[in-house]
Structure 1
Amino acid sequence: MNRKTLVLPAVVGLLAPVLAACGSTDSGAGGEGAIVVGTTDQLVASEENPAPLDPAIGYEAGVWNVLRQTVQTLTSVPVGGGAPIPEAAQSCTFTDTANESYRCTLRPGLTFADGTPVTAEDVKYSIQRVIDINSDSGPVGLLANIDMIETKGDNQVIFHLNTPDATFPYKLATPAAGIVPKAKYPAKEARTGFQVDGSGPYTMKPQTEDGRITRIVFTKNPSYKGELKVLNEKVEMDLFPDAEAMGKALEEKKIHMMTRAMSPEQARDMLVNPKKGIELTEMPGLAISYLGFNTEDPVVNKAVRQAMAQIIDRGEIAGKVYGTTAEPLYSLIPSSITGHTNAFFNKYGDPSTAKAAETLEKAGVKTPVKFTLHYTNDHYGSATAKEFKALQQQLNRSGLFKVDVEGKEWSKYRPEQKRGDYAAYGMGWFPDFPDPDNYTAPFLDKNNFLNSPYRSKEAQDVLIPKSRREADRSAAATTYEKLQDIVATDVPVLPIWQGKQYVASRSGVAGVERSISATSELQLWELNKNA
């Protein structure tokens, strides 16, 4: 998602080590062979989700970090942001002034990693199967505006849209539109297991234990043809149970780099006490954290949600729990995205128990309001539990609430959240593309990501369609201001903080500052050992 939405010179300025430790390439992980990258993402096959890495099913940052390396898309967003450029395609363009028909021509000689030619029919098949499978937890919403997919010959594919959508090129750049081989991906059902096949820059081989991936070996795909320049021959991704274990592996030279998700304590310690041979790189972050609500549950009616918005002290949460790795957020749209406003601060001002009490009293709500605030304890990092303990303390200290907190594993948490089992719950959002549409439509539109019962006719029928008609994304800023005001008034979701990205790496590894995109996705092809 991005049409001139990032101030690129500022972004480039941030993509640099915030501390540089001297020293030459170390032995162990720093020696010859594959570059080894650590992550705390968990890739688990379960009864509820036996196909976590199928592009039609997987819709999480950790899953997309795997798909990005292996499955090619028609377009891609440049490393520093900007308008999408051709990737598997040789060219792509809207063929009408209404932004309702989008044509792509494939690169000549494009093949899957096994040598099978990639044709326009393969593109149509891959995207149509995501729509047909229509997974409850999948990314089908990104493709929901497609009315028909047409092919012309072996190399042209035309997408006819139901309504104008200037953000469509960004959606084609996501793994939801990844091109997969027919022989290995059934048309009407998901591909189970952990193997991924495509025409991307790498092939992959997973290592598993007890139904979860422990390591993935990415090997450079010699058949790859696209815009990306692959600067290494092999990268291994090691999956760790937590940030502490990942950090220990970095110190012991078992990995070259630690990515999602370093703990705030680790980042703070590396800033204050630099370690020889290790560099800490700060990157701009577009991930956000927020509270969601089952708006049909009377316990969290509109007045209660407004009172919570009035009480919660975002600055305290960001400062005490996350330190330098987060900053307060007063809108669904982060501060670095065009159209951002501080809608919640403009409406509620500084935290005030007195104002919250007045809101509840006018609505006839008896206090203290009792409910459980749910969160996932294994998906967004080790600081999540501390964050929700702090939220509980803030709400209960007001005397207006009596809130319990409960953490659950993501594999159970996400299905229960989507079913509407929770009155209030915590979630994070890693954008599909850096455009304000991806911070509003997934939460406010039909078939929204949260499966929320909340509906705003103005948002769904007027403002979201209007915003998508603007090819110049900055021209949609006024429309997004209105959408943010609606969210601040109705509070179907409550933004808490916006994150920064930190990556720690051993000296001698180059390309670290380009290895994670603005949308927090790994770009392993940027890494190399030739500093």
Structure 2
Amino acid sequence: MNRKTLVLPTVVGLLAPVLAGCGGADGGSGSGDAIVVGTTDRFTATKDAPAPLDPAYSYDVGTWNILRQTVQTLMIQPKGEGDPVPEAAKSCGFTDSGNERYACTLRDGLKFSSGDPITAEDVKFSIDRARAIKADSGVFALLSTIDTVETQGDDEVIFHLKTADATFPFKLSTPVAGIVNPDDYDKGKLRDGFAVDGSGPYTLKAEADGDEMTRAVFTKNPNYKGTLDVKNDKVEMVSYKDAEDMGTALDKGDIDLMTRTMTPEQIKKLSDASADGAVDLTELAGLEIRYLAFNTDAPTVKTKAVRQAMAQIIDRSRLVSEVYGTQAEPLYSLVPASVTGHSNAFFNTYGDPDPAKAKALLEEADVSTPVKLTLNYTTDHYGAATKKEFEQLQKQLNDSGLFDVSLQGTPWATFVPAERKGEYAVYGMGWFPDFPDADNFLAPFLDKDNFLKSPYSNGDIINNLIPESRREADRLSAAKSLTEIQDIVAKDVPVLPLWQGKQYVASRDNVTGSAYVLNSSATLQLWELSRGVSG
């Protein structure tokens, strides 16, 4: 992981009182108790999504980061990246040459936070439950290669797969495979609200205002047994309505650290400051991507040429420079440039932005111009810069004379149900990978039961290319299949990749571990934080 740690002075107008606040009795940093983390992620339990923290439902980066602190999985992604390693299991591995039988042996003495012992039957219950409920979030698709789950005794779990899947160990490290207690979770329905019970490094106490969780209090779990070295006794996560409020909280000493999502302006102020002060800005490698998704059955974009024309017009470099500067990079595939199997499929197909070529595509398909459509985006999930990003996309498309684009911003709690019901023809989304493998940037969008509920379906991708790529334990050997998938996506444009982003953490200088609090998949690792002098 590439890291750049900038030890910064206070920034006038943004973080001015931070140094003065260190050690104060009223501030989060000076309490001597919990380490307090700010986030702009919002956690709501609504009529459309009443069970945001159930492992069988949760499928966004914010709620997964709650679950990763509280619900234990058989495997876990290690601190230094790389292949997953055993966590609730003491050993796991394929037991056949075809990567179709995967066996795990549980650690001795595993317990839920309640003190109840964990057995192989609890693991089977948890995974079978997620597969059976088939929540409309689509998270169950991560377990789609499982045929049956078998137990032998109290400590052995055997997964029989429908087809070879070299990525299966990664999938067992994701929250949908989290181990839950049958006493707390109904086999046939989701658990509503904000309660979470597991065997992870922390227990959770949620504080809510109406249908929204405002604070998550994580307390070290005395019954935890696993690979993690938990370096603190308590962490509190506070949810803010926007980055400005979060920055003010750090400014006042109410929080010790802030992460996603800071604004580009905040990051730039911190980055431009000189290297002696009370706030550390840590830049981390990231695999976050942003893209436009299409309901390919919607009349305005059903004709492939319309989607191709948009791909031909949009100038990613201009979009990034105008909105995100050095904090993002143009992306020409769903697979980020740093992931094995990446190809610049969209650039290879369309080259540089060219409205004349776009016009020819539309004319050949007999599409009348300007094409009228609405770009939908969420106002409160991916950061304050999202609105500016979509205004730039609107300008580029409208300036071509080929499109008449309007914008519609919607809060996340409303946006997600509408998107899943197919109400949007074109909408903006982000993707934080479940695990750092090219398969996880392709299959969730293109396989059966894809999480976008997209009507787009390509038989060659589903029946041949994805299974072929999963047979290869050496991911370099999967490159041919992965490249073919990316080429098909560039030609058909069911999704349109835009950019790949970096990650940033701003922390007070009496908190250590900020360089490891996020991994490249945006997994929050609160157990890495502790009190001390950084640098």
Question: What TM-score, normalized by structure 1, do the two folds share?
Answer: 0.96
Contact 1:26 1:507 in 2 (8 A): no
Aligned to 1:5: none
How many angstroms does 1:19 deviate by?
3.7
AA partner of residue 209 (structure 2): E
Contact kept? 1:146, 1:162, Cα under 8 Å: yes
Is contact 2:341–2:475 with CA below 8 Å preserved after alignment?
no
- Equivalent position amino acid for 1:171 in 2: K
Which residue pairs with 2:201 in the alignment?
A: 201
Report if aligned partners of 2:138, 2:449 keep a CA contact under 8 Å in 1.
no
Structure-1 residue corresponding to 2:286: 285
Amino-acid identity (%): 57
The residue type paired with residue 172 of structure 1 is: L
The match for 1:329 is 331
Q: Distance in 1 between matches of 2:277 and 2:286?
A: 26
Alignment match, 2:5:
17
Structure-1 separation of matches of 2:181 and 2:484? 43
Shift, 1:496, TM fit: 0.4
Structure 1 partner of 2:484: 482
**How large is the Cα RMSD of the aligned pairs?**
1.2
Distance 1:16 1:195 in 2: 37
Count of residue pairs brought into register by the alignment? 519
Give deviations 1:59-116, integer Å, cap 9, x for gaps: 1100001000000000001122111100000000001111111000000000011110
CA contact (8 A) 2:142 2:171 kept: yes
Q: Which runs of 5+ in 2 are unaligned?
A: 11-18
SS at match of 1:236: strand
Cα pair 1:15 1:514 within 8 Å, conserved? no
- C-alpha contact 1:264 1:324 (8 A) present in aligned 2: no
Does structure 2 retain, via aligned residues, the 8 Å contact 1:303–1:360? Answer: yes
Instruction: Name the SS of the counterpart of 2:38 in structure 1.
Output: strand
Q: How do 1:127-526 and structure 2 match up within 5 A?
A: 127-273=127-273, 276-300=277-301, 301-526=303-528
> C-alpha displacement at 1:21, in angstroms?
4.4
Distance in structure 2 (CA, Å) of the matches to 1:50 and 1:184: 16
Partner secondary structure for residue 485 of structure 1: helix
Deviation for aligned residue 1:394: 0.4
Gaps in structure 1 of 5+ consecutive residues: 1-10
Select between 293-302 and 239-248 the one with higher mean Cα deviation.
293-302
State how far apart, in whole Å, the 2-side matches of 1:297 and 1:231 are: 51
Contact kept, 8 Å, 1:80 with 1:518, in 2: the verdict is no
Aligned-partner Cα distance in 2 for 1:135–1:113: 26
Q: Aligned to 1:405, what secondary structure does the other structure show?
A: strand
Give the CA deviation at 1:20. Answer: 4.2
Q: Secondary structure of the residue that 1:298 maps to in structure 2?
A: coil
Q: Give the conservation status (yes or no) of the 8 Å contact 2:7–2:278.
A: no
SS at match of 1:163: coil
Asked if structure 2 preserves the Cα contact closer than 8 Å seen for 1:344 and 1:488, the reply is yes
User: Aligned partners of 1:396, 1:214: CA distance in 2, in Å?
Assistant: 40
CA deviation vs aligned residue, 1:440-480 (integer Å, no higher than 9, x gap): 00111111111111111111111100000001112111211
C-alpha offsets along residues 205-231 of structure 1, whole Å, 9 cap, x if unaligned?
A: 011102111111101111110011000
Alignment partners' CA distance in 2, 1:272 and 1:163: 51
CA distance in 1 between partners of 2:198 and 2:259 (Å): 24
Cα distance change, pair 379–511 in 1 and its aligned pair in 2 (3 A): same
Once residues 347 and 407 of structure 2 are traced to their aligned partners in structure 1, the CA distance between those partners, rounded to angstroms, is: 25
Q: What is the letter of the counterpart of residue 194 of structure 1?
A: F
Structure 1 runs (4+) greater than 6 angstroms displaced:
none
**Deviation of 1:26 (Å):** 4.1
Post-superposition CA distance 1:301-341 (Å, at most 9, x none): 21010100010011111111112221110000001100111
